[in-house]
Amino acid sequence: MADRETTPDNVCMMQAFEWYVPADQKQWQRLASAAAGLKATGIDNIWIPPGCKAASPTGNGYDIYDLYDLGEFDQKGGRSTKWGPKEDLMQLMKTAKDVNLGIYWDAVLNHKAAADETQKCMAVEVDPDDRMKEVSGQYEIDAWVGFTFPGRGDKYHFTGTDYNAANNKSAIYRIEGNGKKWSDDVDKEKGNYDYLMFADLDYSHPEVKEDVKNWGKWLGTELTLQGVRFDAIKHFSEEFLLEFVEVLDANFGPGWFLVGEFWKDSLTDMCAYLERMHHKFSLFDAPLVYNFSTASTTEDSDLSKIFDGSLVQVEPVNAVTLVMNHDTQPYQALEARIEPFFKPLAYALILLRESGYPCVFYGDIYGIKGDHPFPPSCGNKLPDLCLARKLYAYGKQNDYFDYSTCIGWTREGTWDRPHGCAVVMSNAGPNEKNMYVGIGHTGEVWTDVLGWESTEVKIDDQGRGMFTCPGTSVAVWVDSKAVGRDKFGKFDANIYKE
């Protein structure tokens, strides 16, 4: 008999921060301590927060000041970043490598913040809602675009800013001179969405392009990484991003995982972007997040249509599926409210199906801090859902998306991942579905790994079972004797040691 192919391991990533993580410079330490536990519960890679020096010691890194300062130089109020000093970052890299937990870097390449000095330059004001429309003549402004990096020294070039220190006026200014203009190859929202915030980097300038490419080569040599998350990609040059990806491929091989934040509830625009970028990386499935939000907050929502209009439905290989992130979490600008009862359903939908690369949220694993704290979601069962993905969500998928308030699916298992699973969920009252799990499971007794259903299901001689779920909840059924059942309920979510 010919050798059978080994079933690829299901992988899962975690966004390793939320917006309100305490600014105590201990996040790198916390993640290092949690690394082994995360790996054991089925999380293979973590997307860490922007680790470059921010505008202040409390900045989350999207207010980026210096790409080359990873918490090493005494700049902008201190040496460490919000997340910790460079030494702690390097220890996290070592610890993660030791337990085979991959790390994805969050690259903020669109802009720079907290300039060291103002510089006089010619500019025109543009309409905030149509950046191609000038609303003033050209005049001289005093712009915060002078970056000297006193800790080490450097310089940059910019296309836009949002403040004139000469008259204290806030507006969107397009900087003039030397053929400067907005990048053509950006999203067309607001006419041209090159400018997002702070001092907008000019990727038409060869010095800027060369420096950022060199930074990419330096970063990959300095740190042990398995991938990059690119921030705000619809706001800067697609041509440059392709060149940057080619630099990474040439220096570190094509094995790095690359994902971009193209946050837009437009499937057409997202697919067109992937096409223009030759499918060299993935995108976060923003439309799916909004589907989850609508389903959880709308009476009589139709679960059978939950994937309609999502990226994962049409680009299953290039979609990173998620439920929440730092921008959509409560009290953030892009908040997409998802009711607590729906979180386990949403996570089951991204973790236990065959399409997409799921990303779970730190705030749902460990809870959210800040003025409006939230406990871990899913009744602390999200780690168990991740583990169920790692152990059992393999093989042929049979869908039962045949009723608006109750859907289900099964995974039959494979020759080397034989156990499989059955998932049933309801956004109304308790319900049940008769589903096929495979003739090979005949006679097995299945139970809910989450423990929310206390009954047993015996698989009949047709390979079928009647699987139930509680009201507004989900059940994940697996053979009660399956390898790994003893690993559930063991995750330590007390990352803050409180």
Catalytic amino acids? 231, 261
Phi and psi angles of residue 40, each rounded to the nearest 5 degrees, phi first: -70, -25
Angle at 369 between CA 367 and CA 371, to 5 degrees: 135
The DSSP code sequence of 260-320 is E----S-HHHHHHHHHHTTT-SEEE-HHHHHHHHHHHHSTT--GGGTTTT-HHHH-TTTEE
Q: Tell me the C-alpha distance between 122 and 145, whole Å.
A: 12
Size of the chain, expressed as the number of residues it contains: 498
> Which is nearest to 182 in space by CA: 230, 276, 110?
110
If you search the block for the tokens 């699916």, which residue do you land on? 409
Round to whole Å and give the CA distance between 250 and 218.
13
- Supply 496's token pair: 């803050």
**Where are the alpha helices (H) located in 155-266, listed in sequence order?**
206-222, 238-252
DSSP secondary structure letters along 350-395: HHSSSSSEEEEEHHHHH-B-SSS-B--SGGGTHHHHHHHHHHH--B
CA 187 to chain centre: 20
Burial class of 461 by CB neighbour count within 10 A (0 to 12, 13 to 18, 19+): exposed
**Burial (CB count within 10 angstroms: exposed 0-12, middle 13-18, buried 19+), residue 6:** exposed
Q: What CA–CA distance (Å, rounded) separates 289 from 334?
A: 11
Pairing label, strands 117-127, 130-134: antiparallel
* Separation of alpha carbons 496 and 21, rounded Å: 10
| Cβ atoms within 10 Å of 377's Cβ, excluding its own | 24
How is residue 334 annotated by DSSP? T
CA end-to-end span of the chain: 56
Which 8-state DSSP code applies to residue 341?
Answer: G
| In contact, 359 and 320? CB cutoff 8 Å | yes
d(CA 227, CA 42): 18
| 3-class secondary structure, 327 | coil
Give the Cα separation of 324 and 330 in Å (integer).
9
